[in-house]
A = this chain, B = another copy of it.
């Protein structure tokens, strides 16, 4: 093979910025979506150390063929400052996971994590409305998920975070969006819960821990884990052993990917062309 078709001098660049980076699935999934739409574009992993974030990102935004970025742990909140404009959702969540360069050179930020999770449940036909939900993790992904869910009418939402203040703050925001939701803050538990959501990094890659202490889960529970590697996570493996229905991080990603590429195509306009 002398040449390969997928990258050339005209290729438009997208990147996912994170630390660590090896676990991310966006490079293959977003690139497949871009290429599948006939675009000459690729999304590559960009491993940025937290201490390098500000100067590195300031410079990356100056690359003339970079049209968009995705942010993952631990940068979803820090990345907010990179946007010249934010969507309503991004302002509500206080974090972004996608940044697009518009034709005038300004950057707009949005967040798709929460919508991706809600979309994954919709595709499975597992209703969130009227259900009692336990959410573990109130960081970037957790906040996005809680706020998206607050808009679809759950009966109750219990939130846990290793930083109790962060959980409390998110609970208040959910209550402000829909005061009819029974919002509470508490330790991870499946007591009285219909749906268990993990949006914490516990269990990622070779982390042997579980986000909840359990050796068995109630079979009627629906369990979701935002983590995409390993697949399944230890939590999802236990859920399957226990007979629970599960929703994988990859399903949340699939819902997101399509919406993120829509966002890029809309914002980048003419620069992002078929090729």
**Interface, chain A (partner B; CB < 8 A):** 1-11, 13, 16, 19, 21-29, 31-32, 35-36, 42-49, 52, 55-56, 58-60, 62-65, 229
Contact = CB atoms under 8 A, between A and B. Distances in A.
B42 A28 contact: no
Nearest to A62: B52
Contacts of A44: 7, 11, 13, 42, 44
Contacts of A42: 7, 42, 44
A87 to B, nearest CB: 26
Contact of A10 (B7, B22, B59): B22
Give the 6 A-B CB pairs with smallest separation, nearest first: A59-B59, A47-B64, A9-B24, A47-B65, A7-B27, A56-B59
A25 B8 CA distance: 7
Copies assembled: 2
B6 A6 contact: yes
A258 to B, nearest CB: 12
Given A56-B59, A59-B52, A63-B56, A23 B6 contact: no
Contact of A45 (B4, B9, B60): B9
A215 to B, nearest CB: 31
Contacts of A24: 9
Contact of A62 (B3, B9, B48): B48
A29 B45 contact: no
Given A11-B27, A22-B10, A36 B1 contact: yes
Given A9-B27, A9-B45, A10-B22, 9 more contacts: A3-B32, A7-B44, A8-B27, A9-B22, A11-B45, A46-B65, A47-B65, A48-B64, A55-B59
A21 B40 CA distance: 14
A49 to B, nearest CB: 6
A70 to B, nearest CB: 12
Contacts of A45: 7-11, 13, 65
Given A44-B13, A45-B65, A47-B65, A1 B32 contact: yes
20 contacts: A4-B6, A7-B44, A8-B27, A8-B28, A9-B21, A9-B22, A9-B26, A10-B22, A11-B27, A21-B64, A42-B42, A46-B65, A47-B63, A48-B62, A48-B63, A52-B59, A55-B58, A55-B62, A56-B62, A59-B59
